[in-house]
Amino acid sequence: MKLGIVGLPNVGKSTLFNSLTKAGALAANYPFATIDPNVGVVQVPDSRIEKLGELYSTKKVTYATIEFVDIAGLVKGASKGEGLGNQFLANIREVDAIVHVVRCFEDGNVVHVDGSIDPLRDIETINLELLFSDMEILERRMSKTGKAARMDKSLQKEAAMQERLYKHMEDGNMAKTFELNDEDEEAYFKEYNLLTAKPVIYAANVAEDDLADDGASNENVKKVREYASKEGSEVFVISAAIEQDLAELDDDEKEMFLEELGLEESGLDKLIKASYSLLGLISFLTAGEDECRAWTITKGTKAPQAAGKIHTDFERGFIKAEVVNYDDLMECGSLSAAKDKGIVGMEGKEYVVKDGDVILFRFNV
């Protein structure tokens, strides 16, 4: 999974990136402290993998991962060349979802590019820049398709859809609200990789005092939540400054620190949950003496396609999947005990993989 982090300058974007990835991206109190995109890979915390590793006395434990791409802070007019211009937007065209960091804290020591704290104005600024960038991409596509459609009638359908889409966006609408008529249009649309078609997770960045009640008493957070609910986006409340402190601690110290703050989980945990929920993702597990590993798939994935996540040969030569639920396996204490109890299933090509399935794939190529 790949997430792109966006936001105005000085909203805590790079501080959050640093704390999530411990990558040491430059975070400074002036606009455009981040010029080149920073990329960091983070393990998805999953205690099930650790416990499976203990059960199998495994040589290696491998977690699922998330790749974060942190790009320069946007300003009004970025798509027309203001600030750093439009150059960085290409860096997030390939991400699965956008994490939009919104400043919901007051701090006279940290300047705001627009001079005041207004999360809805900030969201609109970013969304407009993403929209303008998408329209520019679409204009180029329309020019190319329009010329080709004169010679190739099969392209006329796509050309007509592009015009409808451009009009929709010209009216100030995000690409994600555009209605597609059939599978052909869905295929065209997917190919454009539009930023405003991507799912969004809003990171409401608050002061430490607002963390305990998850931002419930913060008026700015309320506004962000209302806005997000209308567009079907996820919101999580975070204090980038606290996350940075947490990033310096080991696991035991981190647990104590969170307890002192009255928190059950870190911002990274919240973000991962929000990402999995928004993108409809789950994890299945594989276990053995050589390696125990978590694999991320989309909900509704069938066994052969899940096998293909491990290796294309597994999908091509799929025969059966030996499946046991993680909790049942741990309760039994071993795979052989689970088999004796009759709770290990031999599943075929139509089996839909569930979160926490421990699977051994049988295949022949």
d(CA 338, CA 322): 12
Q: Could you tell me the pTM of the whole model?
A: 0.81
Would you tell me how many other CB atoms lie within 10 Å of the CB of residue 182? 9
Token pair for 354: 């569930």
CA distances from 159 to 181, 286, 315, 360 (A): 14, 46, 36, 47
d(CA 82, CA 64): 38
- Amino acid 285: pLDDT: 97
Are 83 and 31 in contact by the 8 Å Cβ rule? The answer is: yes
Of 256, 252, 203, 202, nearest in space to 228 by CA: 202
CA distances from 76 to 81, 124, 139 (A): 10, 10, 21
Instruction: Report which DSSP code applies to 66.
Output: E
Q: DSSP 3-state assignment of 259?
A: helix
Are 321 and 359 in contact by the 8 Å Cβ rule? The answer is: yes
- Amino acid 91: pLDDT: 73
Helices then strands, counting H and E runs in the chain, come out as 13, 12
d(CA 123, CA 235): 13
- Amino acid 25: pLDDT: 41
CA 22 to the chain's CA centroid: 18
The region, left, alpha or beta by phi > 0 then psi within -120 to 50, assigned to residue 249 is beta
Residues of the chain with pLDDT under 50: 23-35, 79, 82-85
Sequence-ordered list of residues with C-beta below 8 angstroms from that of 241, at least 6 positions apart, any chain: 12, 15, 207, 208
Angle at the Cα of 320 (from 315 to 323), degrees rounded to 5?
105
Sequence-ordered list of residues with C-beta below 8 angstroms from that of 243, at least 6 positions apart, any chain: 15, 16, 19, 20, 266, 267, 268
- Amino acid 15: pLDDT: 82
Question: How do strand 292-298 and strand 318-325 relate by DSSP bridges?
Answer: unpaired
CA distances from 11 to 66, 116, 201, 234 (A): 22, 12, 15, 18
- Amino acid 338: pLDDT: 95
